[in-house]
Amino acid sequence: MKKFISLLLCVVFMIPSFSACSTGPKMVETLSENLDSACSHSFSKWEKTVESTCTKQGRQERTCKDCGGKEIRLYETLPHTEEVVKGKPATCHTTGVGDGKKCTVCGEITDSGVFLPIDESLHQFEEITVEPTLLISGSTKEICTICGFNKNGENQGPIDPTLLGLPVLNFDGSYRSATKSKPVTVKATVKGDGLNFTCYATLKWQGNTSIKFDKKNYTVKFYKDEDLTDKYKFDPFGWGKENEYCLKANWIDATQARNVVNARLWGQICAKRKNLDPNLKELPNYGAIDGYPVLVYMNGEFHGMYTMNIPKDKWMFDMKNDETKRQAILMGAQWGESSRLFEEIPKGLSFQWEIEHCSTENEDWVRESFNRVIRFLNTADDETFKRDIDKYIDKEASIDFMIFVYTIGGWDNYGKNILYATFDGKKWIPSVYDLDTSWGLYWDGTKYEEPGIGLPVANKTQFVFKKAENKLFTRLLDTHKTEIVARYNELRATVLSDKHLKEEFSSFIGGFPLLAQMAEEETWPEIPFIKNDHDKQLLDYIPKQMAEVDEFFRDVSKMIR
């Protein structure tokens, strides 16, 4: 029985060895190396040192732990076995290779495959159209969707800006050399919206705060000759023929609308004035600027959306140089107490006041005449002020001025951006300019302020000024409450109604085509809020601001005894 079990175990342990041998290369020879015949030998396990391939015999070794000799088994080589290696087809832009053969044992390539050249018939074309803009050319192309090859294409230049329905002004020359005090001479071409002429022009920077911005305001004067001796006067928008205009960049106001639309609203307020000064009746906008959307190019390249405005100078008031008259325009040009609180103007003026025009060569009378107004504002008692104000400053214009500034939230206009004009050297008429700091827009365009922030508080018997005080406004509120409230209610139902305000702004903003707005955003991405919904902000702000103004004037009416 024991012999049977031993035989069975022997058979069981022999089966794996037999199986492994039958599926691998056959052993063909056994060798010995440095074996000591006197040693009884204690061998390690067999270790494969060489794998059989189609070019090499396999090899196994084991080592005697006592004498260090070895026993070696050599196995037969494997058969050379080839398989097909798939090639890579050619495409419309890359070469290919046909199928080849390669031994799976040794890796030898026996057939490298046939070279396949680029096959341009494999292009897959699709027509792609690039629409032109004011900045880039348009094109129609057939592009391969696989490799991007452009089969053929038809290009067209950028859109002709004169097709957009706005005047286009192009200035050829070294415009970058201009400064506020140094104009440069350029060649000017004006086309579109019924205009078509070429002439010469001078350009210089315009403004005070605005000159720090990258996109400049310009004063432009047109001439027929390069020597600048013969003015080129034209009437683009029904203002009367002139050769000087202001190109406003409106940097802080991406809507481009506040300055011009506010000025137009002021003109509409003047038109409803019962006792409008006769000198204002025939002026383009009753002694305020007006403007029109234009596109400006420099040396043939888009430079931006601008408004072409009436300059705030003598022709806006139809004044001339005339020694026989006492006509002048005094400007509050810098923010400060001198202009807000009506402090007397010293000789030589102060930095807060500038004389924009004087009809006579000697300007001393301008300061003396306005100081007369200042002394009256500061010294007259309420009864005298109420009775005699029209001898010094136009009462109705002053009330309109106060209502207007409070309405638009133009607190910047409390002490600057104010014009006072006189046609007789005695009585002064207030007017407005530079009205972009309004309807919540901060003076540098970097933020929006809360509605009503510039309004004073009507506190039972007195007024508390949160932002700033204007002495003229204070005296009017103290002495003319009934007239002020009545005038506000009249204007609120007409010029200052929410509906009318929104219509005026929407209409002006819509005057700039979408293509022009897109080009502006790409050309001047640093303009504050240009990527925001600035149009919506303005239109949404109007009713909120008007609600605050309504509340203020209701409080004023409660103070009336």
What is the pLDDT tens value at each position of the chain, 561 positions in all? 333 334 333 333 333 333 333 467 888 888 888 888 888 888 888 888 888 888 888 898 898 988 888 888 888 888 877 787 888 888 887 888 888 888 877 777 777 777 778 788 888 888 777 778 888 777 777 888 887 777 776 666 788 999 999 999 999 999 999 999 999 999 999 999 889 999 999 999 998 888 999 999 999 999 999 999 999 999 989 999 999 999 999 999 999 999 999 999 999 999 999 999 999 999 999 999 999 999 999 999 999 999 999 998 899 999 999 999 999 999 987 777 778 889 999 887 777 889 999 999 999 999 999 999 999 999 999 999 999 999 999 999 999 999 999 999 998 888 888 999 999 999 999 999 999 999 999 999 999 999 998 899 888 778 888 777 899 999 999 999 999 999 999 999 999 999 999 999 999 999 999 999 999 999 999 999 999 889 999 999 999 999 999 999 999 999 986
With tokens 């919206």, the residue in question is: 193
Nearest to 259 by CA among 523, 400, 439, 429: 439
Residue 249: the pLDDT is 97
Return the structure tokens found at 293. Answer: 């959307």
- Going from the C-alpha of 383 to that of each of 343, 387, 427, 475, the distances in angstroms are 22, 6, 19, 11
Nearest 5°: the CA angle 480, 486, 490 is 140
Please, are residues 265 and 495 in contact by the beta-carbon 8 Å criterion?
yes
Q: How far is CA 301 from the centre of its chain?
A: 18
Give the list of residues 6+ apart from residue 358 with CB closer than 8 angstroms, or none: 327, 328, 366
d(C-alpha 316, C-alpha 278), whole Å: 15
- For residue 339, the model assigns a pLDDT of 82
For residue 156, the model assigns a pLDDT of: 67
User: How far apart are alpha carbons 285 and 433 in whole angstroms?
Assistant: 12
The residue to which tokens 């481009």 are assigned:
256
Burial class (CB in 10 A: 0-12, 13-18, 19+), 308: buried
Beta-carbon count within 10 A of 479 CB:
20
Q: Which residues pair with 31 in a beta bridge?
A: 72
DSSP reduced 3-state for 310: coil
Looking at residue 154, its pLDDT comes to: 62
Q: What is the pLDDT of residue 22?
A: 45
Nearest to 528 by CA among 250, 279, 332: 250
Q: Which residues contact 476 (CB under 8 A, 6 or more apart)?
A: 398, 399, 402, 484
With residue 418 as reference, give the H or E element that holds it. Answer: strand 418-422
What are the φ and ψ backbone dihedral angles of 539, each rounded to 5 degrees? -70, -35
Which pLDDT value is given to residue 155? 63
The structure's pTM equals 0.76
Alpha-carbon distance of 222 to 236, in angstroms, equals 13
How far apart CA 433 and CA 441 sit, in angstroms, is 16
Paired tokens of 536: 């919506």
Please give the pLDDT value at position 1: 39
